[in-house]
Amino acid sequence: MTLVVDNKWGSESRSSPRHVAMIMDGNGRWAAERRLPRVEGHRRGVESVRRIVEASKDLGVTHLTLFSFSSENWSRPVEEIKDLFGLLRRFIRRDLADLHKNGVRIRIIGSSSELDNDIQRMLDDAVELTKENTSLNLTIAFNYGSRDEIARAAGRIAEAVTKGELAPEDMTEECFASYLDTDGLPDPDLLIRTSGELRLSNFLLWQLAYAEFVFVDTYWPDFNKGDFEEAIAEFQRRNRRFGGRTVRSTA
């Protein structure tokens, strides 16, 4: 298998997806099949994050968005949520310096209203430290739900109209998108979900309108660069017409 990649931002090549979104699924089942605690599956999942961030640059991906913690995940057992937040803290403390050194820019999407103050400070510090980096734009969807994102955007739009800052007749798709958490980011070209599940789970419902979907059976802790290459190869085999009759590039 041969992949043609281009690591430059804004490349006109459409051989490799510019923006890849990932639903990292299967940590718990990976652990259960090995009779290990669920936290071990999440810990191994963090190792996969490190591998995929590094592989993204090699494969010509300039924007990577990871679904890290859903707004629906609060329904999980308290101990599991505590473990997940502990892993997030350790990931930032251990990996932030290397991510910054390697030119990774971090962005967080989702609601911050329910997060502990120390978590919010760590996330804010990571965003501030890396804001000038350009080798890879890493967006982490944390305490994120797409319906919540769209509802919050609608609220801000209503407020702008009430204040006279926005006229209803001026509302376009582009204008609406500017009120979303992902304002300024290109829409994903490719969505990858691991573990064999075939649903979006309230992830980037607006932004994924024309993305190609690739679902793989591999659990997230086992997902590696080879699996990533296979998913990109599948993306490359598809013709993206966006409702038209001819292939159109999104680069």
Q: So which residues are the catalytic ones? A: 25, 73
- Ramachandran angles phi, psi of 96, nearest 5°: -60, -45
On whether the CB atoms of residues 107 and 137 are closer than 8 A, the answer is yes
* Cα 210 to Cα 13: distance, rounded to the nearest angstrom: 18
Bridge partners, residue 138, by sequence: 64, 106
Angle made by CA atoms 226, 232, 234, in degrees to the nearest 5: 105
* Cα 193 to Cα 200: distance, rounded to the nearest angstrom: 8
Assigned token pair, 142: 């944390």
Bridge partners, residue 65, by sequence: 21, 139
On whether the CB atoms of residues 189 and 235 are closer than 8 A, the answer is yes
- Ramachandran angles phi, psi of 211, nearest 5°: -75, 155
